[in-house]
Structure 1
Amino acid sequence: MPTYRGRGLATRMLKRALSVLKDKYPVLRLYVMEGNDAESVYLNLGFIPGVLEIQSMYIPLNQ
């Protein structure tokens, strides 16, 4: 919600999650849509851009 943007809430939540997960997994991956508004948060927390993956999903018309 726009009201809560810029207050560091996402950063604090992600830091907490990362501190819990870092000792349990050798690699942490985060999949986001290109152009995600929070991309700068992820980069500031040490995530690096990976290979661009494109996956198309659809619901068939005839089921």
Structure 2
Amino acid sequence: ELLRHLHVHAKENIILIFTNARAVCFQPGLSARLVRQLLQNFIEQLNIEVPLSKKNTFLFGNGGFQFLAL
């Protein structure tokens, strides 16, 4: 829904963040398949292509966040 209200060029500033990546050797894991499907829906329904690439994808472990949350 949010993408409908943004300028078409805003897609170039979108980053994708996968958390708990340490558990899967800092790979997107099974979540990547779901994100790809969501991005494919954007193409089909909104004609907006958001790339899923190393350039805009970041992977984080949860260790640091656990210390911040406590």
TM-score bracket, normalised by the shorter chain, equals 0.3 to 0.5
Q: Which has the larger radius of gyration?
A: 1
In the superposition, the TM-score normalised over structure 2's length comes to: 0.39
| Structure in which a larger fraction of residues adopt helix | 2
Q: Which has the higher contact order (CA 8 A, sep 6+)?
A: 2
| Structure in which a larger fraction of residues adopt strand | 2
